[in-house]
Amino acid sequence: MGNSASSVPQVVTDYLDHLSVERGRAVNTLRSYTNDLGRYTAHLAGAGIDDLGNVTERDVTAFVSALRSGETPLAASSTARALAAVRGLHRFAVREGVVRADVSAGVSPPSRPARLPRTLDVDQVDQLLAGCVGDGPTALRDRALLELLYSTGARISEAVGIDRDDLDPGSRTVLLRGKGNKQRIVPVGRPALAAVDAYLVRARPALAERGAGSAALLLNARGARLSRQSAWHALRAAAEASGLTASVSPHTLRHCFATHLLAGGADVRVVQELLGHASVTTTQIYTHVTVDTLREVYATAHPRARG
């Protein structure tokens, strides 16, 4: 049986040759496939299976489970990669007429745990905002942008989409246009309003003179609406100028907005509305960050936390 065309080692060898010669896969890809299919071959052999035609969907599922629960369990991403190699093997075997059915098609990869968003503490946010220094038009604009992002929890695309008329300093609110053009009105804090006012008085007129009369609140050097890419560059430049070692992303201040509100006692459904999330489930990922913080404080402060 071990020398037949449908023996597992033989089909694996044929498949890897196919990937190398006919598909021209990269060396690193072939190395990964070789390792993953070596694990698969060993798993099947341990179950007394040498012929690919005798493999069932249950055997493939058991292989995925074994990868996740062995002595050195693989991460969900590595397990998904191994399953992709196994699926490729079975599809190849069907195409070549070695077996009749692809028993791997119905096996799902393990779900990846939701990644907790990276956030900054309040002192780090202050440090980041302090990176916008200078009295030039772009410096004042960038300060207004970052203050708005942190004060409102807006996405960068929403912040650059704000028109002058969307901001209401009297009621201290701003109209944001979210995904699917859904609109929401959110509060704006006094520091952000002060930064925007400084920009409107001392910077925007000079920028507007270079353009054709854009209605946008935040303008670029040509007097047109600031782009998302330029806004992201301003955030990154502020982080570098402030000496902040923590990594920042386009959503960093949005994540900080949500996390700091929840840590301060805000109701998760209120934060959901402020963020413009359609479902509270999306917002609840931030509660995990807060709980982790509370757990750390408890572990270091409570006299019997380690008991």
As a whole number of angstroms, the distance between CA 68 and CA 113 comes to 13
Helix runs in 2-136, H state only: 8-17, 27-46, 57-69, 76-95, 122-129
132 φ/ψ angles, rounded to the nearest 5 degrees: -90, 90
∠ CA 227-200-152 to the nearest 5 degrees? 60
Task: Note whether 130 and 243 are within 8 A (CB).
Answer: no
Cα separations in angstroms, 160 against 13, 67, 74, 174, 186: 54, 46, 42, 12, 15
List the catalytic residues: 155, 179, 251, 254, 277, 286
Q: What is the signed CA dihedral for 158, 161, 164, 167, rounded to 10 degrees?
A: -20
Q: How far apart are CA 109 and CA 115, in angstroms?
A: 17
Spatial strand order in the sheet of 167-168: 167-168, 173-177, 183-187
